A and B are shown apart, each in its own frame.
Chain A
Amino acid sequence: MKPPISTIGPMPMASPSPTGPVMSQTTPGTPTHCPYCALQCGMRLTAAGAGAGGRPVLTVTPRADVPANGGGLCQKGWTAAELLTAPDRLTTPLLREHRDAPLRPAGWDEALDFAAARIREIQAAHGTDAVAVFGGGGLTNEKAYLLGKFARVALRTGQIDYNGRFCMSSAAAASNRAFGLDRGLPFPVTDVARADAILLVGGNLAETMPPFVRHLAAMRQAGGRLIVVDPRRTPTAALADLHLQITPGTDLALALGLLHIAIAEGLVDTGYIERRTTGFAAVRTSVSAWWPERAERVTGVPASRMREAVRTLAAARNAMILTARGAEQHAKGTDTATAFINLALALGLPGRPGSGYGCVTGQGNGQGGREHGQKADQLPGYRRLDDPAARAHVARVWGVDPDDLPGPGRSAYELLEALGTPHGPKAMLLFGSNPVVSAPRAGLVADRIAALDLLVVTDLVLSETAALADVVLPATQWAEETGTLTNLEGRVLLRRRAAPPPPGVRGDLAVISGLARRLGQDPAAFPEDPRAVFDELRRASAGGIADYSGITYERIEAEGGVFWPCPSEDHPGTPRPFLDRFATPDGRARFVPVEHRAPAEDLDERYPVYLTTGRVLAQYQSGAQTRRVAALNEAAPEAYVEIHPDLAERLGIAAGERVRVTSRRGTAEGVARISTAIRSDTVFMPFHWAGEGRANLLTNPALDPTSRMPEFKVCAVRVERIPGAAA
C-alpha cells in the first residue's frame, strides 16, 4: 500500500483516515516511536525527498499497530521530524579555552582531548568526586546504562544523578515501599479502557500525552467514570465526571480523607486486605483523624464530593488510581503517592486484572532511565548501590573490583546546589538535560553551574545550559540512532535509526566511549554500538528487579515490545507483574501509615498566592526542542500566568498584560491569561521558557526526605502588574 503522504513545504500530512490503516510489515519507512513523552507513540518515518544541504526530509505518520497511541499523535509528534533540520542545530563541537573566552568551533578530537585532560586535572587536584555526571530521562536505556558505568568505572565518581529525580522519584519510592517494585503502570495502558472508574490525581493527560485520552474516552464510552484531582480545571479535568479542584499541596490530606471514608462506610475489601497485604491496622488507625470534613477544610474539596469519589471507586468492578506529577512533585510526594496506594490497596485494586494503582511516567524514557544506573543510589537492573550482592554482580559484569565502585552520591538538586562549592564537584558532564530552565530555584542553579571549573554538555542544540559550557558536543537525534526505551507501561521498545545524522554529529554513546578511552579505559568496555551496550545491560540487569536479560532487539520488533521483568529469552515478559504476588519478600503489598503536612512554604501577607507549574500541549520540558519547531512555537509562543478573574480584578490585571510573579527565590514574568479554570488563590505558570519567563526561577527546592523530589508544584508568590507594560 502506498503511504498516504503529500507535503506542503516540509510539513507531512496526515493519513486520510484519522485512525489510519493498519500499517503492514511491508509499509515503507522506519517504524519507531516519538521522541517526546513516556507514552512513546508509535510512528513511522519516511524519507520524502531532500531538504536543505541535501539532507533527507523525514515525514511522520502515526502507527495504528502500537496500542499506546492506536494511530493517534499530538502536534508534538506530528512535527517531531522538524527538529532534525532545525537551522540552529549543532553540527560541530564548541570549545572555550578558559571560562571568559567565547565558544568557538572545534574538532572532535580537540574537544574530547580538552575535556578529558581537564577531567584528569580536576580529579588529580580534588579527588574523583570532583567530577559530576548529570543525565536525563530522555536518554535511551543504552545511554543511561553506559553513563552510569562511565561515572562509576571511568570517573569513579559517586556524583551522578539525573533529571528523572525531578519527575518520577516520589512515585518510584512509594511503589518500591508498597510493592517492592516500581513499574509506572504495572499493567498495559490498554487496561485503562477496561476500567469502570479511574481516579487521576494531578495529571493533565489531555495536554501532556494527548493520545492517552483515547483510552480514557473508551472507558467513559463504555460507561466508566473519570474522577480528576487538580487545582486547575485542565482540559483533562474538563473531561471528567467529577473534578475535585484541590488546594495546591494538599493531595495527601485528600487521600487520607478518601481512605477514611472508605473505612467508615465499610467499602474496603477485607478479603483482599487479609490475603494480599500487611500493615492495614496501623493505617486504619492513622486515618481515623482524617474524617472528611477535616480533610475538606484543608483541601477545599467538599466532603460530599469526596464521598462521591470513594463510592464511585468502590462500586466499580474494575477501578484504577493513577497519580502524576501534580501529586508527586512535593516535599511530601512520596507520602502522597503512598497514601493513594494505601487507598488502592484498601479497595483491593493492585494486582487485579483491569484494576490497579499506577504512576503516569512523564519523560520519554522516564521508566527505563530510572532502572539502569544513572541514579545516585542505583546500579543496573533497578539494583541498589548499597546492596553488597548487587555491587558484586554488577562489578563482575564490568570486570572491576566491587570495592572500587563508589557509594551513593547526592540527589539531583543537592548535586546542582553543590556545584563549584568548596566540597562540591568542580566539573560536570551533562547529557540530555537543561537544568538552567528545568531545575527548581533555577537562578541559584545557574549561578552554581557558572561556578564550575569545567562544564561539558552534549546536546542537539545550544540549550540555555549548553551556552554556559566549556565544551559542547553535538549529538544525534532519536531518528538518527538506534536504542531502546521503556515506556510508561514498562514495555521495552526499540527506536530504529531512520536517517543518517548530519556530518559532524555523534551519538551520546560515542561521546561516552571517546571520553572513556581518553581516560584510559579499554574501548571494548565502552562500546559505541547500541546493540553491544544493550547486550551488556541485559547481563548486568539479570537477576535484578528490572530484569531485561531475556529481551532482544529481535523480540522487541517481533512482539511489539516486551514487558519487564523478562528473565530469559523464552520468558514471555510480564505485562501485569502483581497478579499472583507482589515483589516484597513475603509477596504481600505493604500498607504504610503516612501523615499530611502543610506545603514547605504556605501563604502569608507578603506572598499571598500559590503558584503551581506544569506543561502545555505544544511544548515539552525545558522547551529546548519544541521551541525550535515553528508550528509548536506558534501554538504556545511565550510564558504566561493563568489568573482567576477574581484575583485579576483585585490586582488590577487585565488579560494580555505583562505580570511579574515573585517568590522568595526570584522573579519571573509572563502574559496574564484570565481564566476561571484556575482557583482564585492560585496562579499557574508553564515551565517551558527561558529568560524572564522561567517559572523555575520561583519554585521551591524543598526536598522530599525519601525521594529527594523538589516541591515544584506549590510555593507562595506575589503577583503584580508591570506598570506601563503591554504584551
Chain B
Amino acid sequence: MSVLSLNGHRRRGRARASRLVVVGNGMSGSRLVTEVRARDPEIRITVFGAEPRPPYNRVLLSNVVAGTSRPEQVWLLDPAWYGEHDVTARLGVPVTAIDRETRTVIAADGTREPYDVLVLALGSEPVVPPVEGADRAVAFRTLDDCERILARARTARHAVVIGGGLLGVEAARGLAGRGLPVTLVHLAEHLMERQLDAEAGLVLGRTLARLGVAVRTGATVTAIRPDGEGHRVELAGGEAIATDLVVLACGVRPVTGLARAAGLEVDQGIVVDDEMRTDDPAIHAIGECCQHAGTVYGLVAPAWEQAAVVADLITGADPGARYTGSRTVTRLKAAGVELAAMGETRLTEDDAEVVRFSHHRDGTYRKLVIRDDRLVGAILLGDSPAVGTLTQLYDRGAPLPRDRAGLLFPGLAGADGTAGDPGRVPDAATVCRCNNVTAGRIRACWAAGARDVAAVAAATRATTGCGSCRADVEAIVAGLRARDAHQRDQEREEVPA
C-alpha cells in the first residue's frame, strides 16, 4: 500500500486521511464531496457552505432566470443525500478562519472543526464596478440573486444587463425570453470579447437583437440613479436608459480572503500545484478560487477535473493523480443561440491557419484556428452539426483531415454520390440489401422476361426483406420499360408500315 506524502505526518499508518473538511459547497465543493464518498465510504467528511441551500448547478441559473427551470430543478444533491452518505453538512455556516497550527477551521458560529486534509472550494464573487449607485443593481451569481431578479422581473417593463460576457449574455437572453425588453450594456467593443473575435461578437449581437435584446457595446456606465419607481442607467456621453431592473454581470474574482488571512500563497487565486495543493501540504484548493500554472479557470469542467484529482489523492484511489490543466470550451446556454467557443479564437491568418465561414443574416459564423495540423481554437455561432466533432478534435488535439471545408460542413464530404435517379444506378450497385440483389441482376431479369416488380421479386427476392427498396426496384423496372418503349417507337419510325 502506498503512503501519501500529504499524510506522512500521521502515525496510524493508514494511507488515507481520516478527517476531511471542505469549505465551500458550490459546484466544486459538492463535486469533491461526492467524488470522495464514491471512492471511500469511511472517511469522515464535513462540508461548510455559506449558503443555506443544498448545492445547485450554477450553469443552469440562466434557465431559472428564463423561467424554464424551477430552483429545485437545479439542485446537484438532494438534502437527504448527506444523511444517506454519512456526510456532515454545515449549510449556511460560513468559515471565518483557518488555524493551520492546530489544523482546525473556525466557523462563523464559533465552532471549530479539526481536519487532516482541508479542501478550499470557495468559488468566486461578482465584481461590482466602482460606479455610483451600483448597489441598486442585482448581481447574477447565486440562486438568491436569481430569485431577486425574478421577483422584480415579474412587474418590470424593461431591464438593463450590465456586462456582455458569457453570464451577461445568458442573463439578458433569459430575461428577454420572459418577454421583457432588455438592453445589454457592454464596455468592450464587442460581446464576449474574451471568447470571440470582433465579427463573431457582431453576429452574436444581431442574433440577440432578433430575440429582444438591444445591445450597446463600447458603452461605459457612469451611474445608476433612482428614477421614480425604477432606475436610470447613465452612460458616458450623457445618454441615459430608464429601466425597472438592473442586473450586474461584470465578471467575477476568486474568493481568496480566507486563504490570504491564513498565510497561504495567493496571486490572482490561491496558488496550487499539480496535486491541487497549496503551499500548506494539508490544504488543497479547487475550482474558481484557485490558480493552477498561472491560470484561474472560470468554468465547471476544469473544477470537476480538479475535484477528481484531489479525491484520488485524498482517498489513495490513485496516488499518481495529477492535474495538468484543461482545455476550455465555452458553450453559451441561451435559448435560440447556439454558440461554442474554444481555445485561441482571436488569432488571424498572420499567426495561424484560419478557416472561416460567415453568413450574418443567418446568424452563422464559423471559424477554425489551426496550428501544426491541430485545431487550437474555434468559434461556432449558429446551429452547427459539426460542433460535437470539432470539440472532440480540439479536446484530443487530434490531427485534422486535409479537407478543411469538410470540417465546417460535414455533410459535404459525406455525400456518397448514391443519391439521384435509381433508374440509372450502375449494374454493380446493390439495390436490395436484404437479399444482395444488384441493379445488374434486376436488368438481367428484365432481359429474361420479368416485366414487373412481382416478377423481379420472384426471380431475385428483391423487395422481400425489409421492403425499403421497392421504390428503387420500381424505378429500375419503369426505366427499362420506358427504354424499350422508346426503342420500339424508333424502330417504328425507321421501318415505315
Partner of B60, one of A16, A285, A288, A304: A288
Q: A247-B392, A288-B76, A676-B416 are in contact. Are A296 and B387 (CB under 8 A)?
A: yes
Q: A13-B459, A305-B385 are in contact. Are A285 and B467 (CB under 8 A)?
A: no
A577 to chain B, nearest CB (A): 28
A586 contacts B by Cβ under 8 Å: no
Partner of B468, one of A217, A294, A680: A217
Q: Which residue of A lies closest to B338 (CB)?
A: A304
Task: State in angstroms the CA–CA spacing of A440 and B328 once bound together.
Answer: 37
The interface residues of chain B lying within 8 Å CB-to-CB of A217 are 466-468
Q: Tell me if B385 and A74 are in contact (CB < 8 A).
A: no
Task: State in angstroms the CA–CA spacing of A410 and B181 once bound together.
Answer: 65
A541 contacts B by Cβ under 8 Å: no
Query: What does the 1/0 interface line of A226-243 toward B look like (CB < 8 Å)?
Result: 000000010100010000
The interface residues of chain B lying within 8 Å CB-to-CB of A265 are 68
Query: What does the 1/0 interface line of B53-65 toward A look like (CB < 8 Å)?
Result: 0001101100100
Q: Tell me if A681 and B57 are in contact (CB < 8 A).
A: no
Task: State in angstroms the CA–CA spacing of A463 and B400 once bound together.
Answer: 44
Q: A73-B464, A206-B433 are in contact. Are A300 and B392 (CB under 8 A)?
A: yes
Partner of A210, one of B56, B389, B453, B465: B465
Q: Tell me if A281 and B78 are in contact (CB < 8 A).
A: yes
The interface residues of chain A lying within 8 Å CB-to-CB of B455 are 16
The interface residues of chain A lying within 8 Å CB-to-CB of B63 are 264
The interface residues of chain B lying within 8 Å CB-to-CB of A305 are 385
Q: A211-B466, A212-B466, A617-B434 are in contact. Are A18 and B401 (CB under 8 A)?
A: no
Q: Which of A196-217 contact B (CB under 8 A)?
A: 206-207, 210-214, 217
Query: What does the 1/0 interface line of A289-307 toward B look like (CB < 8 Å)?
Result: 1010110110111111100
A62 contacts B by Cβ under 8 Å: yes
B405 contacts A by Cβ under 8 Å: no
A646 contacts B by Cβ under 8 Å: yes
A605 to chain B, nearest CB (A): 11
B5 contacts A by Cβ under 8 Å: no
A649 contacts B by Cβ under 8 Å: yes
Q: Which of A76-108 contact B (CB under 8 A)?
A: 78
B441 contacts A by Cβ under 8 Å: no
A266 contacts B by Cβ under 8 Å: yes
B75 contacts A by Cβ under 8 Å: yes
Q: Which residue of A lies closest to B466 (CB)?
A: A213
Q: Tell me if B401 and A680 are in contact (CB < 8 A).
A: yes
Query: What does the 1/0 interface line of A450-488 toward B look like (CB < 8 Å)?
Result: 000000000000000000000000000000000000000
A345 contacts B by Cβ under 8 Å: no
Q: Tell me if B77 and A285 are in contact (CB < 8 A).
A: yes
| Main SS class of interface, B | mixed
Q: Tell me if A646 and B464 are in contact (CB < 8 A).
A: no
Q: Which residue of B lies closest to A216 (CB)?
A: B466
Task: State in angstroms the CA–CA spacing of A681 and B399 once bound together.
Answer: 10
Q: Tell me if B466 and A75 are in contact (CB < 8 A).
A: no
The interface residues of chain A lying within 8 Å CB-to-CB of B59 are 291, 294
Q: A72-B464, A213-B468, A296-B331 are in contact. Are A676 and B60 (CB under 8 A)?
A: no
Query: What does the 1/0 interface line of B412-437 toward A look like (CB < 8 Å)?
Result: 01101000000000000000011110
Query: What does the 1/0 interface line of A42-76 toward B look like (CB < 8 Å)?
Result: 00000000000000000000100000000111110
Q: Tell me if A285 and B434 are in contact (CB < 8 A).
A: no
Q: Which residue of A lies closest to B413 (CB)?
A: A676
Q: Tell me if A681 and B454 are in contact (CB < 8 A).
A: no
Q: Tell me if B457 and A18 are in contact (CB < 8 A).
A: yes
Task: State in angstroms the CA–CA spacing of A284 and B74 once bound together.
Answer: 9
Q: Which residue of A lies closest to B430 (CB)?
A: A635
Q: Which residue of A lies closest to B453 (CB)?
A: A18
A176 contacts B by Cβ under 8 Å: no
A210 to chain B, nearest CB (A): 4
Task: State in angstroms the CA–CA spacing of A75 and B460 once bound together.
Answer: 10
B231 contacts A by Cβ under 8 Å: no
B260 to chain A, nearest CB (A): 31
Partner of B74, one of A288, A303, A635, A650: A288
Query: What does the 1/0 interface line of A528-569 toward B look like (CB < 8 Å)?
Result: 000000000000000000000000000000000000000000
Interface-centre pick from A62, A214, A264 (highest chain B CB count, 10 A): A264
Task: State in angstroms the CA–CA spacing of A634 and B437 once bound together.
Answer: 12
The interface residues of chain A lying within 8 Å CB-to-CB of B457 are 14, 16-18
Q: Tell me if A300 and B391 are in contact (CB < 8 A).
A: yes
The interface residues of chain A lying within 8 Å CB-to-CB of B389 are 300, 679-680
Q: Tell me if B383 and A72 are in contact (CB < 8 A).
A: no
Task: State in angstroms the CA–CA spacing of A263 and B467 once bound together.
Answer: 38
Query: What does the 1/0 interface line of B382-416 toward A look like (CB < 8 Å)?
Result: 01110111011001101101110010000001101
Query: What does the 1/0 interface line of A360-391 toward B look like (CB < 8 Å)?
Result: 00000000000000000000000000000000
Partner of B329, one of A14, A212, A297: A297
Q: A13-B459, A18-B453, A264-B68 are in contact. Are A75 and B398 (CB under 8 A)?
A: no
B297 to chain A, nearest CB (A): 15
Q: Tell me if A74 and B458 are in contact (CB < 8 A).
A: no
B73 contacts A by Cβ under 8 Å: yes
A127 contacts B by Cβ under 8 Å: no
Partner of B301, one of A210, A263, A294, A646: A294
Q: Tell me if B401 and A263 are in contact (CB < 8 A).
A: no
B356 contacts A by Cβ under 8 Å: no
Q: A78-B461, A281-B78, A296-B388 are in contact. Are A618 and B436 (CB under 8 A)?
A: yes
A4 contacts B by Cβ under 8 Å: yes
Q: Which residue of A lies closest to B394 (CB)?
A: A297
B88 contacts A by Cβ under 8 Å: no
Q: Tell me if B461 and A75 are in contact (CB < 8 A).
A: yes
The interface residues of chain A lying within 8 Å CB-to-CB of B232 are none
Partner of A635, one of B331, B416, B436: B436
Interface-centre pick from A17, A266, A288, A679 (highest chain B CB count, 10 A): A288
Q: Tell me if B401 and A15 are in contact (CB < 8 A).
A: no
Q: Tell me if A74 and B331 are in contact (CB < 8 A).
A: no
A631 contacts B by Cβ under 8 Å: yes
Q: Tell me if A293 and B333 are in contact (CB < 8 A).
A: yes
Q: Which of B277-332 contact A (CB under 8 A)?
A: 300-301, 329, 331
B314 to chain A, nearest CB (A): 19
Partner of B396, one of A18, A603, A650: A603
A680 to chain B, nearest CB (A): 7
A643 to chain B, nearest CB (A): 12
Q: Which of B28-81 contact A (CB under 8 A)?
A: 56-57, 59-60, 63, 68-69, 73-78, 81
Query: What does the 1/0 interface line of B451-490 toward A look like (CB < 8 Å)?
Result: 0011101111101111110100000000000000000000
A579 contacts B by Cβ under 8 Å: no
Q: Tell me if B465 and A303 are in contact (CB < 8 A).
A: no
A282 contacts B by Cβ under 8 Å: yes
Partner of B467, one of A72, A78, A296, A650: A72
Task: State in angstroms the CA–CA spacing of A541 and B440 once bound together.
Answer: 53
Q: A266-B68, A646-B401 are in contact. Are A78 and B388 (CB under 8 A)?
A: no
7 additional A-B pairs beyond A206-B466, A211-B434, beta carbons within 8 Å, are: A16-B455, A18-B470, A214-B466, A296-B388, A297-B392, A646-B403, A680-B401
A-B residue pairs in contact (CB < 8 Å), sample of 23 = A14-B457, A14-B459, A16-B455, A18-B453, A74-B466, A213-B465, A247-B392, A264-B60, A264-B73, A281-B78, A282-B78, A288-B75, A291-B60, A296-B331, A297-B395, A299-B388, A302-B385, A303-B387, A617-B434, A635-B436, A645-B401, A649-B401, A679-B389
Interface residues of B (CB under 8 A from A): 56-57, 59-60, 63, 68-69, 73-78, 81, 300-301, 329, 331, 333, 338, 340, 383-385, 387-389, 391-392, 395-396, 398-399, 401-403, 406, 413-414, 416, 433-436, 453-455, 457-461, 463-468, 470
Interface residues of A (CB under 8 A from B): 4, 13-18, 62, 71-75, 78, 206-207, 210-214, 217, 233, 235, 239, 247, 263-266, 281-282, 284-285, 288-289, 291, 293-294, 296-297, 299-305, 603, 608, 617-618, 631, 634-635, 645-646, 649-650, 676, 679-681
What are the 9 tightest A-B residue pairs by CB atom distance, in nearest-first order? A646-B401, A213-B466, A300-B388, A293-B331, A635-B436, A210-B466, A210-B465, A18-B457, A210-B434
